Amino acid sequence: MNPAQYTVVVAGMGKRGTHHAEAFQKNGRFKLVGLCDIDATRLEAAAKKFGVSETSADAAALARKTHPDVFCFCTLPDLRLPLIRAGVEAGAKLIAYEKPTALSTNEALEMMQLTRAAGVKTVVSHQHRYGEHYKKVKEIIASGAIGRVHTVYGTATGWMMHMFTHLIDYTRWYNDYAEAEWVVGQAHGKSKFSDNHPSPDYIAGLIQYSNGVRGIVESGEGAPDVPEVDYWWRKCRIGAQGTEGFAEVLTGGGWRAITCDGVASGPGSMDYEHDMGPYVREMADWLDDDKKIHPCNGESAYKDLETAMAICRSVVQRGKVKLPLGPGEPELEALKRVLPD
Ligand SMILES: NC(=O)c1ccc[n+]([C@@H]2O[C@H](COP(=O)([O-])OP(=O)(O)OC[C@H]3O[C@@H](n4cnc5c(N)ncnc54)[C@H](O)[C@@H]3O)[C@@H](O)[C@H]2O)c1
């Protein structure tokens, strides 16, 4: 018998931790039993807002004490592997965490090893896919109205460790999750390596998928502007071209398509409140039933990260990089070493 409610600990009560706690609290299938942040003021405010008395600055200790079904962490990218370990050691059934999955292939491989060995489900926040405009584009592509898909593409003006796995995740979805076989990449600029999402200023990749479809992804300074969208972080254009047309979503500006049925477009903008509800609901569904695998599952998110890291390796190695990847020199360090000042 599945419990009526799954208990949840959220660690990292910044912007995204708050979104997660709000979504869990709104859904009757979950009960918040603990909150964590190293910032005492922030933690106190969150405890008051969510009415949770069990708080700590130590996520691992809090998880051990409260033993949650769901261990959720929304920290910056420098903190992934230790918190995956904390969730696994506390016996969580599901660990939900923020993109980017990891800062390197090596880290991601270790994280996957831990969760696979313990049989813990993982979910990564590529939740833009719940937007009505994102879903409309998927529906048009899947209906066959753009003919045979030959190209999927995604661009974002935001830099790599913020945006690249979002782009790769949604283009993979639009391409029915075909496996990436090889990539070629190029990058420029080192100013964003000092950011808390360390990245080259710009990166671009070509991806060859096993179904013959070509992926094209670009992120950062130099990626095309999306003038229809005002909000800078939502200047993302993601879509597919086929033999009879195209369909694409603008994260902050609706969707549009030209198909065998004519020209069409519609509204939509990324909206955390709208997207987080189904994102957490599908966690309960997966916990209830192993067959209802979450669309943002960690195995899929690993492939997003792997493709992103393969593109980084291609910049470093100056050539085609085949997937799957094994361990290697941490990609961001290697990029920093080879990119000119
Ligand atoms: N999926 C999305 O749409 C989306 C959108 C924005 C950000 N993000 C991602 O979410 C993550 C967090 O971003 P944010 O904007 O919420 O950051 P934030 O800075 O607002 O919040 C991070 C919080 O983590 C806390 N923290 C740091 N170390 C900790 C530790 N050891 N234990 C507990 N808490 C700790 C910080 O004090 C802070 O409150 C990033 O990886 C970012 O890329 C995802």
Question: Along the chain (341 residues), what's the average pLDDT of each consecutive run of 10 residues?
Answer: 90 98 98 98 98 98 98 98 98 98 98 98 98 98 98 98 98 98 98 98 98 98 96 98 98 97 97 98 98 98 98 97 98 97 89
pLDDT number for residue 326: 97
Strand (E) or helix (H) holding 339: none
Q: What domains can be seen in the chain, in order of their start residue?
A: 6-127+274-296 (3.40.50.720), 128-270+307-322 (3.30.360.10)
Query: How far, in Å, are 22, 246, 292, 302, 318 from residue 325 at the CA level?
Result: 37, 31, 28, 11, 16
User: Which residue from 20, 58, 85, 98 has its CB within 8 A of the most atoms of ligand 1, so it is best to mutate?
Assistant: 98
Which amino acid makes up residue 56?
Answer: S
Are 8 and 31 a contacting pair, CB within 8 Å? yes
Return the structure tokens found at 258: 């030209």
The arrangement of strands across the sheet holding 245-250 comes to 262-266, 255-259, 245-250, 236-242, 149-156, 214-220, 202-209, 180-188, 321-322
> Is the C-beta atom of 58 inside 6 A of ligand 1?
no
278, burial (CB in 10 Å: exposed 0-12, middle 13-18, buried 19+): middle
Euclidean distance between CA atoms 155 and 229, whole angstroms: 13
> Is the C-beta atom of 248 inside 6 A of ligand 1?
no
Which amino acid makes up residue 294?
Answer: H
Nearest Cα residue to 307 out of 210, 197, 189, 193: 210
pLDDT number for residue 143: 98
The bridge status of strand 180-188 relative to strand 321-322 is antiparallel
Residue entry with tokens 């030959």: 150
pTM to 2 decimals?
Answer: 0.98
Nearest Cα residue to 314 out of 302, 328, 301, 299: 328
Residue of the CA atom closest to atom 24 of ligand 1: 12
Are 92 and 11 a contacting pair, CB within 8 Å? no
Distance 40 CA to ligand 1 centre (A): 15
Residue of the CA atom closest to atom 5 of ligand 1: 16
pLDDT number for residue 156: 98
